[in-house]
Amino acid sequence: MDPIYVPHLLKARDRTRTFDIETVFPELETLTPVRGSVQVKHCTTYLEVQGKAEAIVTLTCDRCLQHYNHRLTVDAEELIWLEDPTEWGDEELLEREVSVEDLVENLAPDGHFEPRTWLYEQVCLALPQRQICDEACAGIPVDVQQETANPLRDRRWAALAKLKHQLAPEDA
């Protein structure tokens, strides 16, 4: 998919263009392609971008390290300023009632917007922070017998044994 040259949006109907996207991102493991659409509207000083997408992504469980599938839905909206906010003075920032941190997304007025890249970022933002295959996931199985047979090989166990000795030295 070709990036859009931002001034071309001004000539589009309602200054809006919609892109249907069905793609596979090499950086993201998915069971199904990412399917969705991105709509971009030129609002003179900024672009209004809306996107929806769905995919089944393959994640790795934080507890048991097994791969599992997760249905991901993206429903995002973002404003992209068509100027370089770092060039704004303090007065201008006050007038706009925004801080520089809010303006991380910006593009030159004669720049290019890439719907596919934008969608990729939204998909990444929608990934769950905590990746657990199942709420009941017990994690990596631990060999309990081995733990009890050699309690001192673990430093935490060693500390506990020391404490026990301090509390009841006659047992030692």
What residues make contact with Zn ion under the rule CB under 5 A? 61, 63-64, 133, 137
Q: Which is nearer to Zn ion, 12 or 137 (CB)?
A: 137
Contact (CB, 8 A) for 103 and 84: no
Whole-angstrom Cα distance, residue 51 to residue 5?
Answer: 18
Q: How far apart are CB 63 and Zn ion at their closest, in Å?
A: 4
Q: How far apart are CB 57 and Zn ion at their closest, in Å?
A: 15
Q: Which is nearer to Zn ion, 3 or 139 (CB)?
A: 139
Whole-angstrom Cα distance, residue 40 to residue 51?
Answer: 9
The residue whose two tokens read 């900024």 is 46
Q: Which is nearer to Zn ion, 79 or 137 (CB)?
A: 137
Beta-bridged to residue 67, according to DSSP, are 60
Q: How far apart are CB 34 and Zn ion at their closest, in Å?
A: 24
Whole-angstrom Cα distance, residue 53 to residue 85?
Answer: 30
Q: Which is nearer to Zn ion, 141 or 169 (CB)?
A: 141
Q: How far apart are CB 132 and Zn ion at their closest, in Å?
A: 6
Q: Please tell me whether residue 75 adopts helix, strand or coil conformation.
A: strand
